Amino acid sequence: DSGVTQTPKHLITATGQRVTLRCSPRSGDLSVYWYQQSLDQGLQFLIQYYNGEERAKGNILERFSAQQFPDLHSELNLSSLELGDSALYFCASSVVPQGVSTEAFFGQGTRLTVV
Amino acid sequence: DAKTTQPNSMESNEEEPVHLPCNHSTISGTDYIHWYRQLPSQGPEYVIHGLTSNVNNRMASLAIAEDRKSSTLILHRATLRDAAVYYCILRGYNNNDMRFGAGTRLTVKP
């Protein structure tokens, strides 16, 4: 158990809908990262937050947004869903954003299926 | 951003050592070399990291070249449970994100 909790574990929804994925970081970790992993794309970095502020942005679509709340949990919002958004979405947390000498811990992921 | 290059796949026999290479020729002086692995149907997990000196922990060893342009993750005795995708990434003071490449898919044969 990494200490990072992602909910829900599985989600099935229809095209055009909107969903929210939730991540609770490890106790004491201030930084949260979101990743998308589909079969043919590998682990794609989406966005990173540190203590409530956005710190880095990767290949995140405009239909997607995220935020980190004062209690440090984070939510990833996916809207106008398309079939191609079906993927595993992982959240990771670490103590500090740069994490040069600290490791990041990953949750078990949320499997999103868009039908 | 400094990038890493890894072989797409490698095979090993059970209980034999495995050496997983990673090239990072554009590494900066403040970049740490991190290794993660992803077991089937799981999130990635941390394996080891280092800066200049070789490092050992209960999971693996990390050998870093003197010029730091390459490194090797060493699994001393591969088990079937070590079959996973292994990722080598660089993390530094200027890198807020943590971007993964394609990694090396390790197959362990009994």
Portion of chain B with pLDDT greater than 70, in percent: 95
Q: Which two tokens stand for residue B8?
A: 């797409």
The answer on pLDDT for B29 being more than 90 is: no
Q: What is the model's pLDDT at position B48?
A: 94
Portion of chain A with pLDDT greater than 70, in percent: 95
Q: What is the model's pLDDT at position B80?
A: 96
**Which of A8-12, A94-98, B30-34 has the weakest average pLDDT?**
A94-98
Distances (CA, A) of A87 to A74, A78, A93, B15, B109: 19, 12, 20, 34, 29
The answer on pLDDT for A98 being more than 70 is: no
Q: What is the model's pLDDT at position B41?
A: 85
The answer on pLDDT for A99 being more than 80 is: no
Q: What is the model's pLDDT at position A3?
A: 93
Residues in chain B within 8 Å Cβ distance of A50: 96
Q: With left for phi above 0 and alpha for psi between -120 and 50, is residue A112 left, alpha or beta? A: beta
β-sheet with B9-13: strand ranges across: B9-13, B104-109, B84-91, B32-38, B45-50
When pLDDT is cut at 50, 70 and 90, the band that residue B101 belongs to is: confident
Q: What is the model's pLDDT at position A88?
A: 96
B71/chain A closest Cα distance in angstroms: 17
| pLDDT tens for each residue of B54-97 | 999 999 999 999 999 999 999 999 999 999 999 999 887 666 67
Q: What is the model's pLDDT at position A101?
A: 63
| pLDDT tens for each residue of A21-35 | 999 999 989 999 999
Range 15-74 of B in CB contact (< 8 A) with A:
30-32, 34, 36, 38, 42-46, 49, 51
Burial classification of residue B78, based on how many CB atoms lie within 10 Å of its CB (0-12 exposed, 13-18 middle, 19 or more buried): buried
Portion of chain A with pLDDT greater than 90, in percent: 80
When pLDDT is cut at 50, 70 and 90, the band that residue B24 belongs to is: very high
Residue B101 at interface with chain A, using a CB cutoff of 8 Å: yes
Start-to-end C-alpha separation, chain B: 39
Chain B CA closest to residue A90? B43
Name which of B32, B96, B103 is nearest A55 (Cβ-Cβ): B96
Rounded Cα–Cα distance for residues B89 and B50 (Å)? 11
When pLDDT is cut at 50, 70 and 90, the band that residue A79 belongs to is: very high
Cis peptide before A8 (omega within 30 of 0): yes
Element (H, E) at A23: strand A19-24
Helices (H), chain A: none
